[in-house]
Amino acid sequence: MHAVPVNEVANIIAGQMKNGGVFLCTRADGRDNVMTIGWGGLTVFFGEDCFLVPVRTSRYTYGMLQKNGEFTVSIPLHDMRRELGVAGSKSAREVDKFSGFGMTAAPAQAVNAPVVSECELQIECTPLGSIPQTAELLNQDVLDRFYASRDMHTFFLGKIVRCYYKD
């Protein structure tokens, strides 16, 4: 594995977010989880490189992040559409998405959350905070289009402690 500055891979990450998504991995209560995210991304807060991940409050991942705010983002640089589809459509409440779906949980280098071993680019984050989204602060068109059921997101802000390519 070799470290890479986040700014050198920003366009790669943004491109993958727009074209299939990336994997968000969490761990809590002895369980690993993976889900697909296509919103969020790299930013700078408090003078630190950060990754912002929006997670709907109804998702299993939300509760895991509430318990252990550490997370990883695994970015595939090859075709993993099938796996991204599984991670984005199945709930860890009912199925272990790391078992039999083409994704392998591997230890992260610096945080207590797994990475998707098959992905070439990894980001590891420690928690800086979270911000619940509220309907009254959104444009009505956005609210109607993305939040008709009012299942809002909470934005989890993670300080990037490692960014690396797998060798």
Measured CA to CA, the distance from residue 46 to residue 80 in angstroms comes to: 34
* Dihedral pair phi/psi, residue 56, rounded to 5°: -65, 145
Per-residue CA distances from 152 to 40, 43, 103 (Å): 14, 21, 28
Which single residue is written with the structure tokens 């934005």? Answer: 155
Q: Check residue 102 and give its pLDDT.
A: 82
CB-hemisphere CA count at 13 Å for 54? 14
* Strand ranges inside 6-152, DSSP E: 22-28, 31-37, 41-45, 48-56, 71-75, 105-107, 114-116, 121-132
Helices H / strands E in the chain, number of each: 4, 10
Q: Check residue 130 and give its pLDDT.
A: 94
- Give me the tens of pLDDT residue by residue for the chain, a chain 167 residues long: 899 999 999 999 999 999 999 999 999 999 999 999 999 999 999 999 999 999 989 888 999 999 999 999 999 999 989 889 887 776 677 777 678 788 999 999 999 999 999 999 999 999 999 999 888 888 899 888 887 888 778 999 999 999 999 87
Q: Check residue 28 and give its pLDDT.
A: 95
Measured CA to CA, the distance from residue 123 to residue 139 in angstroms comes to: 31
Q: Check residue 100 and give its pLDDT.
A: 78
CB of 83 closer than 8 Å to CB of 103: yes
What does R_g of the chain's alpha carbons equal in angstroms? 15
Which single residue is written with the structure tokens 């420690």? Answer: 126
Structure tokens at 80: 């993993």
Instruction: Name 120's bridge partners.
Output: none
Measured CA to CA, the distance from residue 62 to residue 78 in angstroms comes to: 28
Q: Check residue 115 and give its pLDDT.
A: 97
